[in-house]
Structure 1
Amino acid sequence: MVKKIKKTQIFRHIIQLIMFVLSPGLFILAFSELKSIYTMIIKGNFNFITAFPTLIEFTTVIIATVFLGRFFCGWVCAFGTYNDFLYLLSKKVFKINFKVNEEVDKVLKYVKYVVLLLLVIVVWTMGSKVLDTTSPWDAFAQITNFPQVLFDYTIGVALLLLITIGALFVERFFCRYLCPLGAVFNILSKIGILKIKKPSDKCGKCRLCTNNCSMGLSLYKVESVCGGDCINCFKCIEACPRSNTKINVLGENVNPELASGVAIAAMVGLYAVNNLGASAVANSGLATASTTSTSTSSTSQKYKDGTYTGTGTGFHGATTEMSVTIKNNKITKVETVSNGDTPDFYARAESTITSEIISNQSTSVDTVSGATYTSEGIINATQEALKKAEVGSSATNTTTTPTASTDDKSTNTANTATTANTYKDGTYTGSGSGFHGGTTQMSVTIKDNKITKVETVSNGDTPDFYARAESTIISQIVSTQSTTVDTVSGATYSSEGIISATQEALSKAKA
């Protein structure tokens, strides 16, 4: 008998591999954003519009999960992909055929709710730092830098090893029994519009759908499944020899390739829309408006108005320099002046930490999971800046590069007389190391204390990767007036070469 080609599974594995390479830390980023929502709620300072720019990933995933089910878990999550391919390896190469007893499996699936509850109580509510060095998903998110991860997350790596062993014997071991984010999705996905329908009158004693279920669901006992532990992998659809198992959306049976393609496209589109919305919120100033609207008349003067800078130590001892703007005794802006941190980790931490500092009017904020040391660098630099701003401090104000639009210049005219220039006018060059060690040389033009032009002088990088990164990185640097920009997915090393070269050029331009 010729085996049927499982087109949906081939498509799924391709998507999984792409997301594994492009966004290995998406799971921990979404989970850390859920933590941010919870901590803001219990502190009584949650404002969705204010927080939205720092909640893009979780917002995207949760909306998609509520309406379409757990496609994120089955198709996108890198930690789920890791579990899938470990089990595939054990089954095809090592010929391991271990099965968990059905009743034992049911009981073990409640463990993930215990894990979630412990995290909420011990870490999120009580503020324990136990996960700072013991989190297996933090270790996984940074595994590309294994020597440092092994040193910083020794217990986390040990737990990751145990999860790896479990995944070799039980399909989706972590997802079934331990995933705290999966516990949340399990509850919220049950109201979705997508169901897997399986009229049992045609099944007889067949157990193929159950035997092929990634999450070990007893499908032979039910007529349909909507969300819950189902991760929409659709293995049951392709395993059914009678084509009895169907995907049903709003009462209509649909093709599995079409359903999965639409779901993935919807997530990508939703992510793009959320990014545009977050940019609009950030640019409109709504994020700071809510924190500055409260009256300060009865507040004792703690800080002097002005802009102050401070430095802190981030990942691998990298120096982070932050500027803090004080107005009417309030922290109104926290920005990066420069950083030598790893761009991926820094981007993960920056927006969340700075937003929480402004929202809380305090540096007593949680670090971002997966970017703990980077977060601490930002927090420490901000603390040093705030110490200079304190009433009674002898430190003098320093003002960073203005980023106001032309329309706003009139409001800043009074302050420019005392503003210290960050950069000297002129054109400066710097070099950095890109893909496969290729040297990138960039020129940066400064005029009126502004970065007006960033150009490539030469590069020994791979042309395809470099072209993918160049225009995006340069435009972001000029528009944000900062080298703290996201790398381009699929051209990370080329992006880092451009950023490093620009940073070196700017260091020569400093006044």
Structure 2
Amino acid sequence: MLRKISQYYYLLFFSVAGFFFYKAVTLFPTEGVSALKYRFPSIEGFLPISALVALKSYLFSGIFDPVHPAGLTILILIILSAFLFKRGFCSHICPIGTVSELLYRFRKKIIPGDLLIPTWLGYLLASIKYLIALFFIKVILIDMPYDATWQFVQSPYNAVADIKMLKFFLNPSALTVKVLIVLIVLSLTFPQFWCRFLCPYGAFMNIFAFFSPLTIKRNNESCISCKKCDKICPSNLKVSTLNAVTSPECTLCCSCVEVCPVRNTLSLGSRIGKFTLTPFQYSLILLGFFIGGMIIAKITGRWQSTVLPELWQAYYPLVDKLTH
């Protein structure tokens, strides 16, 4: 229940944040820096490439991104959460994941039934997101020189990257519209299509989620093989055949635990030992981690940019001409 509340809250939050960001951008030419009061720093969570470059720059220089500090903070929190809590961010907070889930549920209410992708095809499709993620890891984390990362962080393009992102979605090309339509249709047809097969963010998180101490465990002795867990799993994992769900594709949505008809047959806990958590406890700890991390970021000056007003004043008039 707490997971659903979290999903709807963050979907609403980011929708409101997007609306106010649009307001900040449109009012800036007339109101100047005072319009930035409508810009929520959390909007920087939609600048993953900028944050990844800033992460490498930070690791080499020790200088936290002064332009989009919230973006770097969010990326660091996501990486740490993947290591500690697997991909709970995807099932509790990510608005794109929530929209994908809602689309599929909406379709099932109109046209009942599940359309599952064969396992072999699922592996083939999943390779797409890993290839995209590996591309960015190689280009940014491996090949990009440190000096180039710091230059990008300070570049005019990066200063208005959030504005360019907004303009991209407000004025999409014909190709972009076609791609979005295809993604919507696929999300209506197959559960969590974007998250499972195309999201490079998810693939990047899987690198750390693989080492997470948490997992879903199954008690083989009490299991009645009803396979309800298999049917409800959005990642199409065969939970009923596993002693422990070690796949990094598991987002710990705990749907399988909640649907299991036999008490304590499925449980969320540590890979080693008997430590267990209820789905509510897990959601509470996960959300507390993110909220606490953001509070610390605000206190330590790693959330709100102090240089952005000056940068917007300098580069806002050039936003359509700037390239990277």
TM over 0.5: yes
Which structure: greater strand fraction?
A: 1
Distance 1:219 1:375, change over 3 A: farther
Q: Give the drift of 1:378.
A: 10
Rounded Cα–Cα distance in structure 2 between residues aligned with 1:273 and 1:97: 43
Rounded Cα–Cα distance in structure 2 between residues aligned with 1:165 and 1:78: 18
* 1:13 matched to 2:33: no
Question: Letter of the aligned partner of 2:64 in structure 1?
Answer: T
Partner of 1:161: 181
Which structure: greater helix fraction?
A: 2
Instruction: Answer 1 or 2: higher relative contact order, Cα 8 Å, separation at least 6.
Output: 2
Q: Give the drift of 1:379.
A: 9.2
Taking the TM superposition and a 5 Å limit, the aligned residue runs for 1:409-448 are none
Question: Letter of the aligned partner of 1:37 in structure 2?
Answer: L
* 1:117 matched to 2:140: no
Q: Secondary structure at the match of 1:110?
A: helix
Rounded Cα–Cα distance in structure 1 between residues aligned with 2:8 and 2:300: 28
Q: C-alpha deviations, 1:433-475, integer Å up to 9, x for none?
A: xxxxxxxxxxxxxxxxxxxxxxxxxxxxxxxxxxxxxxxxxxx
* Equivalent pair of 2:91/2:253 in contact (CA under 8 Å): yes
Rounded Cα–Cα distance in structure 2 between residues aligned with 1:196 and 1:375: 52
Q: Give the drift of 1:211.
A: 1.2
Which residue of 69, 79, 85 corresponds with 2:102? Answer: 85
Q: Give the drift of 1:122.
A: 6.9
* Equivalent pair of 2:133/2:200 in contact (CA under 8 Å): yes
* 1:94 matched to 2:108: no
Q: Give the drift of 1:278.
A: 3.1
Which residue of 27, 45, 52 corresponds with 1:34? Answer: 52
* 1:269 matched to 2:269: no
Rounded Cα–Cα distance in structure 2 between residues aligned with 1:280 and 1:81: 25
Q: Give the drift of 1:121.
A: 5.6
Rounded Cα–Cα distance in structure 1 between residues aligned with 2:317 and 2:249: 34
Distance 1:173 1:50, change over 3 A: same
* Equivalent pair of 1:198/1:246 in contact (CA under 8 Å): yes
Q: Give the drift of 1:337.
A: 4.3
Question: Letter of the aligned partner of 1:248 in structure 2?
Answer: G
Q: Secondary structure at the match of 1:100?
A: coil
Gaps of 5+ in 1: 1-7, 128-137, 284-333, 341-349, 351-372, 381-511
Partner of 1:23: 14
Question: Letter of the aligned partner of 1:218 in structure 2?
Answer: K
Question: Letter of the aligned partner of 1:377 in structure 2?
Answer: V
Q: Give the drift of 1:224.
A: 1.0
CA RMSD of aligned residues (A): 3.5
Which residue of 174, 183, 191 corresponds with 1:171? Answer: 191
Which residue of 246, 255, 260 corresponds with 2:267? Answer: 246
Rounded Cα–Cα distance in structure 2 between residues aligned with 1:281 and 1:151: 28
Rounded Cα–Cα distance in structure 2 between residues aligned with 1:29 and 1:153: 20
Q: Secondary structure at the match of 1:336?
A: helix
* 1:149 matched to 2:169: yes
* Equivalent pair of 1:56/1:278 in contact (CA under 8 Å): no
* 1:214 matched to 2:234: yes
Q: Give the drift of 1:120.
A: 4.8
Rounded Cα–Cα distance in structure 1 between residues aligned with 2:308 and 2:96: 32
Q: Secondary structure at the match of 2:309?
A: strand
Taking the TM superposition and a 5 Å limit, the aligned residue runs for 1:164-243 are 164-226=184-246, 228-243=248-263
* Equivalent pair of 1:70/1:231 in contact (CA under 8 Å): yes
Which residue of 124, 127, 136 corresponds with 1:107? Answer: 124
Q: Secondary structure at the match of 1:66?
A: helix
Q: Give the drift of 1:16.
A: 0.9
* Equivalent pair of 2:45/2:74 in contact (CA under 8 Å): no
Distance 1:51 1:241, change over 3 A: same
Q: Give the drift of 1:49.
A: 3.5
* Equivalent pair of 1:30/1:57 in contact (CA under 8 Å): no
* Equivalent pair of 2:129/2:200 in contact (CA under 8 Å): yes
Question: Letter of the aligned partner of 2:52 in structure 1?
Answer: L
Q: Give the drift of 1:150.
A: 5.2
Q: Give the drift of 1:189.
A: 1.0
Question: Letter of the aligned partner of 2:297 in structure 1?
Answer: N
Question: Letter of the aligned partner of 2:177 in structure 1?
Answer: V
Q: Give the drift of 1:256.
A: 1.4
Distance 1:336 1:164, change over 3 A: same
Distance 1:205 1:103, change over 3 A: farther
Question: Letter of the aligned partner of 1:268 in structure 2?
Answer: I
Question: Letter of the aligned partner of 2:4 in structure 1?
Answer: H
Q: Secondary structure at the match of 2:300?
A: helix
* Equivalent pair of 2:229/2:239 in contact (CA under 8 Å): yes
Gaps of 5+ in 2: 16-42, 149-161
Distance 1:48 1:85, change over 3 A: farther
Larger radius of gyration: 1
TM-score under structure 2 normalisation?
0.71
Rounded Cα–Cα distance in structure 2 between residues aligned with 1:81 and 1:63: 21
Q: Secondary structure at the match of 2:268?
A: strand
Q: C-alpha deviations, 1:178-229, integer Å up to 9, x for none?
A: 0101011112012223221112233253321111101111212221124600
Partner of 2:61: 47
Rounded Cα–Cα distance in structure 2 between residues aligned with 1:335 and 1:15: 30
Question: Letter of the aligned partner of 1:28 in structure 2?
Answer: F
Rounded Cα–Cα distance in structure 2 between residues aligned with 1:27 and 1:282: 14
* Equivalent pair of 2:45/2:75 in contact (CA under 8 Å): no
Question: Letter of the aligned partner of 2:269 in structure 1?
Answer: N
Provide runs of 4+ in structure 1 moved above 4 Å.
Answer: 24-27, 119-127, 279-283, 337-340, 373-376
